[in-house]
């Protein structure tokens, strides 16, 4: 099943399609939302047990977001249901606190039932949070017990390696629960809503990928935790206009140029209880970006300056109680964070570290003092992430691709002693097959792994492997779309070029001219044009309404080297839209069916910003736009994201002004539909209201669609999503015209 790799994936374009293909109707939109984009019913949170004998996973019904726990037997290939949320709750409805809802919003989790679970070191015990309660399941005895935790909001529970202790944050402090005595002990004290202990602050969760605020040493004798002081940080509120009798939800929301949350790191020996503080120059390094308490007992932290042009990896020295610098990453634009690094070699004074060095990501083997020892994965191999390291075998498994529309899993051997180079150390062996996106997870004993893949031809499937063979597939009960998107991915243009997707109607007629819809995102740190079927299902629905839908990956996106990614720095309002226009013209010149006199644009979040920007700045190209949850003024977005790409206020004020939509409102001359959820706590509804106000003052006509009670994840509500996309289709049909 191995195929040759081609980093320019060109799918043959059909000149004609079957005339009897029936276009998708609006019922597809509801089905898409009801099935979570056809992902409900598929295995998620896949975790092989440490001994490699079983694979655990969560799975819901095809149209039911409540996940249950399942177990796949590696020896027999059989799967059984282990535990359901209904059983534990005894038929009661699941209840989530506002804090847990907010945490799931940050993690983009819409599932109910078991959202997550944890195993202890030998896999005998599982910790399962559910409906504000904590349950421990004994896999050997198949018994479940509910912990007698006092009333309060429980966040971020963890189970100890020996399965005897559970920790969590309850009402702003970290607690330790002894399973033998059913006794709870406070490890930190004095936490409040203003000054929390053990909780990740908003920007850490939303932008840094750090969802925890406390970490244990391997033996659970030492706790390291954050103290997040919100004093002086702006307080914003999310109110539900349909429920004026209810108090708004309160959120600390730091904006560019304003006060950030002040975070420091404490550590405490549980049997002593006295807190000491890990000090660093917090004026120079304002962000605590990442913390890792490695299995070897080494504690490392990544701290970052407010401009994010320097990230420093530092190690805690217990004898001095201080941090010592290991590696500095610097860039004139911004540095990237790695939550999965460093990886220390067990029994060795060496660690693996991902660095860019101005070229691309590479995996380095560094000595205990931080100096470079060897290069394990070259900077030009398209490294994305490291999935597994076996220091005994000298093996690293990682995800990489020189084609940013794909992601493949590879194995490579390396040596701990650079002077003795192994003959196979420069060879990468792919574990998967075919085009598409792959990920992998290994068992603790490193003998079993699960490889999950998706492609243009199929939605995610997960396959269980041993070292010698594939033993089975984790079963899915998901609904299938019933069709494959008529989508092609190609790289166009000279030089670096642009990766693009073209989605044509399934009854495509090459003799016709079609209006074009640009499905846009365009923002940094995200790839839109990928070989994943799910990305192109709704665009196929739009295409079937009589359009050709296209997507273009502009500069600023990852996966194409340092200079490509950082071309967007300080230029939100220029580089992305210039590239989108250039890509459109290249596509139109190549594909005669595209009518570039009738181009519409639709996007959400940063894509919503891009959509509005398109008609305000380039009405010569874009004839109509739908802007979903757009950021309209970047001074109203959070610090860590915005200052990373636009700089600091006041010194970089001009970059903010040049990227704002508000001064452009007077230029509107094309149809514009603004869509926004009123309960959005990521891109606040304020953004759409502020642009609306400027448009009204300028005497401009526009349309608006408020989504009552909807957050940033609009597709989670089937009816709302169907109505939104149906209106989108009607809007473009009216303003672009559809050939009969």
Catalytic residue among 712, 715, 717, 729: 712
Distance CA 173, CA 194 (A): 12
The token pair at 166 is 């559970």
> Residue 157 corresponds to which tokens in the numbers above?
């529970």
3-state SS class at 204: helix
> Which phi and psi (to 5°) does residue 197 adopt?
-115, 125
Spatial contact of 184 and 169, defined as CB atoms under 8 Å apart: no
User: 718-736 and 27-34 are packed helices; what angle lies between their axes, rounded to 10 degrees?
Assistant: 140
**CA separation for the pair 448, 387 (Å, rounded):** 13
Q: How far apart are CA 26 and CA 28, in angstroms?
A: 5
Q: Going by C-beta distance under 8 Å and a sequence separation of 6 or more, which residues neighbour residue 373? A: 350, 364, 365, 366, 367, 418
| Alpha-carbon Rg for the chain in angstroms | 26
- Count CB-CB contacts under 10 A for residue 579: 21
State phi, psi for 49 to the nearest 5 degrees: -70, 155
Asked if 544 is an active-site residue, the reply is no
Catalytic, out of 605, 660, 715, 729: 605
Q: Give 327-362 as a DSSP string.
A: EEEE-SS-----TT--EEPTTSSEEEEEE-TTTS-E
Sort strands 548-552 and 154-159 into parallel, antiparallel or unpaired: unpaired
Q: From CA 605, how far away is CA 393, in angstroms rounded?
A: 44
CA angle at residue 71 from 67 to 76, to 5 degrees?
150
Among this protein's residues, is 605 annotated catalytic?
Answer: yes
- 425 classed as catalytic: no
Residues written for the chain: 740
- Spot the catalytic one: 374, 519, 638, 680: 680
Backbone angles phi, psi at 466, to 5 degrees: -100, 180
Active site residue ranges: 605, 680, 712
């Amino acid at each position: 099943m191995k195929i040759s790799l081609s980093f320019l994936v060109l799918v043959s374009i059909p000149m004609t399609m079957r005339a009897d293909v029936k276009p998708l109707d609006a019922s597809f939109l509801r089905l898409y939302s009801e099935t979570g984009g056809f992902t409900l019913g598929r295995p998620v949170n896949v975790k092989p047990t440490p001994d490699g004998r079983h694979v655990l996973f969560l799975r819901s019904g095809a149209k039911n977001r409540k996940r249950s726990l399942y177990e796949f037997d590696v020896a027999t290939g059989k799967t059984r249901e282990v535990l359901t949320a209904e059983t534990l709750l005894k038929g009661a409805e699941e209840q989530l606190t506002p804090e847990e809802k907010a945490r799931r919003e940050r993690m983009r989790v819409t599932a109910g039932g078991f959202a997550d679970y944890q195993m202890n070191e030998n896999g005998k015990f599982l910790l399962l949070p559910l409906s504000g309660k904590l349950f421990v399941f004994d896999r050997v005895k198949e018994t479940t017990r509910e912990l007698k935790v006092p009333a309060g909001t429980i966040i971020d529970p963890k189970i100890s390696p020996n399965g005897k202790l559970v920790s969590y944050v309850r009402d702003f402090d970290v607690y330790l629960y002894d399973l033998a005595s059913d006794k709870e002990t406070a490890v930190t004290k004095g936490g409040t809503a203003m000054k929390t202990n053990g909780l990740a602050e908003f920007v850490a969760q939303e932008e840094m990928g750090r969802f925890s605020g406390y970490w244990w040493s391997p033996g659970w004798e030492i706790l390291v935790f954050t103290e997040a002081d919100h004093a002086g940080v702006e307080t914003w509120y999310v109110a539900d206009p349909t429920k004026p009798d209810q108090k708004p939800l309160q959120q600390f929301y730091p904006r560019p140029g304003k006060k950030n949350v002040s975070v420091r790191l404490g550590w405490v020996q549980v049997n002593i209880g006295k807190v000491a503080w890990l000090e660093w120059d917090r004026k120079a390094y304002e962000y605590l970006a990442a913390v890792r308490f490695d299995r070897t007992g080494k504690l490392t932290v990544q701290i970052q300056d407010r401009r994010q042009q320097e990230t420093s990896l530092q190690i805690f020295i217990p004898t001095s109680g201080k941090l010592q610098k290991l590696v500095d990453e610097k860039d004139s634009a911004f540095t990237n964070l790695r939550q999965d690094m460093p990886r220390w070699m067990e029994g060795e004074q060496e660690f693996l570290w991902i660095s860019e060095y101005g070229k691309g990501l590479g995996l380095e083997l560094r000595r205990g003092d931080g100096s470079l020892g060897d290069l394990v994965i070259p900077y030009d191999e398209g490294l994305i992430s490291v999935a597994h390291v076996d220091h005994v075998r000298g093996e690293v498994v990682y995800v990489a691709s020189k084609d940013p529309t794909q992601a493949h899993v590879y194995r490579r051997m390396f040596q701990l002693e650079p002077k003795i180079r192994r003959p196979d150390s420069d060879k990468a062996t792919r574990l998967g097959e075919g085009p598409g996106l792959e990920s992998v997870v290994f068992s603790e004993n490193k003998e079993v792994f699960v490889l999950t893949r998706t492609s243009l031809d199929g939605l995610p499937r997960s396959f269980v492997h041993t070292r010698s063979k594939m033993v089975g597939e984790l079963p899915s009960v998901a609904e299938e779309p019933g069709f494959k998107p008529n989508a092609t991915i190609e790289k166009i243009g000279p030089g670096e070029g642009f990766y693009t997707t073209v989605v044509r109607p399934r009854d495509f007629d090459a003799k016709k001219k079609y209006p074009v819809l640009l499905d846009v995102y365009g923002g940094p740190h995200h790839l839109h044009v990928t070989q994943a079927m799910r990305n192109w299902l709704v665009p196929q629905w739009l295409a079937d309404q009589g359009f050709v839908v296209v997507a273009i990956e502009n500069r600023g996106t990852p996966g194409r080297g340092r200079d490509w990614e950082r071309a967007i720095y300080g230029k939100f309002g220029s580089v992305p839209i210039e590239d989108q226009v250039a890509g459109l013209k290249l596509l139109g010149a190549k594909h005669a069916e595209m009518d570039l006199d009738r181009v519409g644009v639709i996007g959400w979040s940063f894509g919503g910003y891009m959509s509005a920007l398109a008609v305000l700045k380039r009405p010569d190209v874009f004839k109509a736009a739908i802007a979903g949850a757009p950021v309209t003024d970047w001074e109203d977005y959070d610090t860590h994201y915005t200052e990373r790409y636009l700089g600091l206020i006041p010194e970089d004020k001009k970059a903010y002004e040049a990227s704002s939509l508000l001064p452009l409102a007077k230029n509107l001359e094309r149809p514009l539909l603004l869509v926004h959820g009123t309960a959005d706590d990521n891109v606040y509804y304020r953004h759409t209201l502020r642009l609306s106000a400027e448009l009204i003052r300028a005497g401009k006509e526009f349309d608006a669609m408020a989504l009552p009670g909807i957050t940033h994840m609009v597709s989670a509500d089937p009816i709302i999503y169907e109505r939104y996309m149906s209106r989108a289709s009607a809007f473009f049909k009216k303003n672009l015209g559809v050939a009969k």
